[in-house]
Amino acid sequence: MAESQNKRDLAYARTKINFDVKDMTNFLHGGEANVEQRRYIIDLIAKDPVFNKDDWGWLNHTDAVKRGIAMSTRLAEIKMEHDLNDLDFATMMEAIDDTLPIVLHNGAFIPVITSQGTEEQIEKWIPPAEKYQIIGCYAQTELGHGSNLSQLETTATLVKETDEWEINSTSFTAAKWWIGGLGALCTHAVVQARIFIEGKDYGAHVFVVPLRSLDDHKPFPGIEIGDIGPKAYNGFNKMDNGFARFNKYRIPRENMLMRFSKVSKEGVYTKPPHAKLAYGSMVLLRSVLIKQMALYLSRAVTVSTRYLTVRRQFNNPTSRNDSDLNPGLETQVINYPMVQNRLFPMIAQSYALFAAGAVMMDMYIGLMTGLSSGNIGALAEVHAMSSALKSYCTTFAVAGVEESRKLMGGHGFSYFTGIAHLFASTVPSNTYEGDNYVLTQQMARYLLKEVKTARTNPDQVTPYSKYLLLGLNKSAFARSTCSVALPEDWLSPAVQLAAFEHRCARLAYELSDAVEQGGLDTANPKTWSDHNIECYRISHAHAQYVMVLWFIQAVRDASNPETDVERRAEPASIKVLERLSNLHALHTIQTNLVDFVEDGYFSPAQCQSLRAQVKNIVASLADEAVGLVDAFDHPDFLLNSALGATDGDAYKRLWDKAQSEPLNRREVCDGYEEYIRPLLKKHGEFKL
């Protein structure tokens, strides 16, 4: 097929879009100014040769780390040259599209010191950190422990005589492990270590620990340090995830971050006013991940939507054939309902992730504002919410990136789609910042407390747990059923939310009853573990409920004249957004249908009409799909994809990319004389 047909197909698809793509882009990114700033930052990165991505597919870990360091230092320079803020830094990382050794300096080192340090400590460490006179990482995980913070083996023992801490890796398994930036780049780390004062264990606390000399970058005596080696799928290959062992290494007492817990010169320990006050920085990292998932999944579906629009296979009639454009051509694969039903729900999920990312950041900002004035009221809920959302969103976004690859058939497996790299970068998000399975216990614990509140003080249940009030009257709740009578009833947000609320309430009370009946204790890991599967289920159910709710609210707000103009959209965009919101809600129900039918809330007939409605909405989005992914506004530099570029010239680009394979530089490959020829000649000459 001529290359121009590819381009023609995508251009033709763009003529059918029924909304203004620019308007949708502004809605997604929170206004025109943000869109322009994002473009400006991406261009800054794109035109700098150190960020060129052409040879990435061929870099091994050792070369990649060197490149990662070069990119890190340039990134720091650009940030300072242009006086860019944290948001711009995040956009630079988005544009670079790889995890660099420097990323945790801005992503964790600075935020941890800022949120857990005293004013004097902030004054001491942050100005040099902002000027990159010191570069830091975040060292919590050890060879033997990650999830279980309370059993970390690195100790910090107070030495009163010298007013110092002695940091010690008490065993082989106490070695810090996986720490991004530690292997090669960083001069400092914030280290989690268990405090011992006169033999008493006060649990894990955070310390600023100098690692390498600021003169020659050599590790200080008493620290053994290095890189942990290559990682799965060649992911994170520019990142120097590292290890460190401390051998009775001394640091000043003031290097313990003391905003909440304090230790005086005399060895008096003051505990924090609230046990979870130090969680602020974790909430930030998890909240940022939701937004990142929106960017990752939307990139994957951009590539697959564009490619599937230009890919033609078989000559099967579908309800949406473009044979008027080019009679006699095969069918565009995007017209197959099977393809649409795999792809379009992920476009809807991407839009829902944009909405959830914005709300989660607002919640984080609200939390920090409250904490700064001593109000810890929102801490438990926001911590649980960020844990539940992190677990759910990273799980389905990563699955979605892989599904986008599979959607593209054989070519999907080429590195040049850009999706293999995206998958390798995205997949560890299921593990870092809290393992996705372990994390769900946070929301489950929180909801169990809310169940108690619902029973004793129903007025005090927090807004997102209000559904628990539905279950207070057990018999009425058991009799309640879904109100859908006609297929179009599914399009009511109230009906959708009622279904999610019913499901969450049932799962929460079932968990609560099981815990109570078994006489089990959430604080007792031996017995609590029996309920881990149910914890996962209710935590993800709650996350799905708030995601559906937030997307519905974002679409409602978009047409409300009282909403900030940045979050508004034109009527034509809203019409499509409503369809996406419906698809997101109903498809989420459909993929979790068992939860809605096992107590009889949905009837078999309702299940059938639900499936039909999902199919209808999917089909109704066929003309909009290309516009919906164009609206994400991911430039070609960012996508780095032969199959998903803006002009649709997929085959030509794939061909050109393959020509850059170093094997093709020679007519006869290396190894011919050594291996191939001897085999061919082993049993004599064969004449053609």
Binding residues for ligand FAD, rule: CB under 6 A, are 104, 138-141, 145-147, 178-180, 236, 241, 428, 431-432, 434-435, 437-438, 529, 532
Gap between the Cα atoms of 477 and 472, Å rounded: 8
Gap between the Cα atoms of 193 and 204, Å rounded: 5
Residue 227 CB, nearest distance to ligand FAD (Å)? 13
Provide DSSP, 51-84: G--TTGGG--HHHHHHHHHHHHHHHHHHHHHTT-
* Between 191 and 622, CB nearer to ligand FAD: 191
Gap between the Cα atoms of 40 and 38, Å rounded: 5
Q: Collapsing DSSP states into helix, strand and coil, what is residue 607?
A: helix
Q: Which structure tokens are listed for 350? A: 């991407």
Residue 223 CB, nearest distance to ligand FAD (Å)? 16
DSSP 8-state class, residue 563: S
- Contacts of 475-481 with CB under 8 Å at 24 or more apart are 477/505, 477/506, 478/599, 480/601, 481/600, 481/601, 481/602, 481/603
Residue 167 CB, nearest distance to ligand FAD (Å)? 15
Residue 139 CB, nearest distance to ligand FAD (Å)? 6
Identify the H or E element spanning 126. helix 119-130
Q: Which of 63, 410, 420, 406 is nearest to 233 (CA)?
A: 420
Residue 118 identity: T
Whether the Cβ atoms of residue 578 and residue 496 lie closer than 8 Å to each other: no
* Between 141 and 394, CB nearer to ligand FAD: 141
Gap between the Cα atoms of 645 and 666, Å rounded: 29
Q: Collapsing DSSP states into helix, strand and coil, what is residue 167?
A: strand
Q: Which structure tokens are listed for 401? A: 């990136």
Gap between the Cα atoms of 238 and 60, Å rounded: 9
DSSP 8-state class, residue 168: E
* Between 527 and 532, CB nearer to ligand FAD: 532
Provide DSSP, 163-185: TEEEEEE-SGGGSEEEETTTTTT
Whether the Cβ atoms of residue 587 and residue 396 lie closer than 8 Å to each other: no
User: Is there a catalytic annotation at residue 674?
Assistant: no
Residue 577 CB, nearest distance to ligand FAD (Å)? 35
Residue 682 identity: K
Q: Which structure tokens are listed for 170? A: 């008490």
Residue 243 CB, nearest distance to ligand FAD (Å)? 11
Residue 111 CB, nearest distance to ligand FAD (Å)? 13
Residue 428 CB, nearest distance to ligand FAD (Å)? 4
Q: Which structure tokens are listed for 552? A: 């519905």
Calculate the dihedral angle through the C-alpha atoms of 169, 174, 175, 178, rounding to the nearest 10 degrees.
-140
* Between 434 and 648, CB nearer to ligand FAD: 434
Instruction: Tell me how long the chain is.
Output: 688
**How far is CA 19 from each of CA 267, 581, 631, rounded to the nearest angstrom?**
66, 16, 10
* Between 253 and 286, CB nearer to ligand FAD: 286
Gap between the Cα atoms of 299 and 632, Å rounded: 8
**Tokens 């409605």 belong to which residue?**
613
Q: How many CB atoms lie within 10 A of CB 203?
A: 12
CA–centroid distance for 539 within its chain: 17
394 is in an annotated binding site: no
Q: Which position's Cβ is nearest ligand FAD?
A: 146
* Between 102 and 642, CB nearer to ligand FAD: 102
Residue 458 identity: P
Q: Which of 275, 511, 523 is nearest to 376 (CA)?
A: 275
Per the residue annotation, which of 153, 381, 433, 501 is the catalytic one? 433
**How far is CA 372 from each of CA 8, 280, 369, 402, rounded to the nearest angstrom?**
56, 11, 5, 41
141 is in an annotated binding site: yes
Residue 232 CB, nearest distance to ligand FAD (Å)? 8
* Between 146 and 345, CB nearer to ligand FAD: 146
* Between 180 and 493, CB nearer to ligand FAD: 180
* Between 137 and 356, CB nearer to ligand FAD: 137
Whether the Cβ atoms of residue 115 and residue 281 lie closer than 8 Å to each other: yes
* Between 255 and 331, CB nearer to ligand FAD: 255
**How far is CA 180 from each of CA 104, 236, 615, 623, 679, rounded to the nearest angstrom?**
7, 9, 44, 44, 46
Residue 181 CB, nearest distance to ligand FAD (Å)? 7
Catalytic residues: 433
- In the annotated binding site, the residues are 141, 180
- In the annotated binding site for FAD, the residues are 141, 180
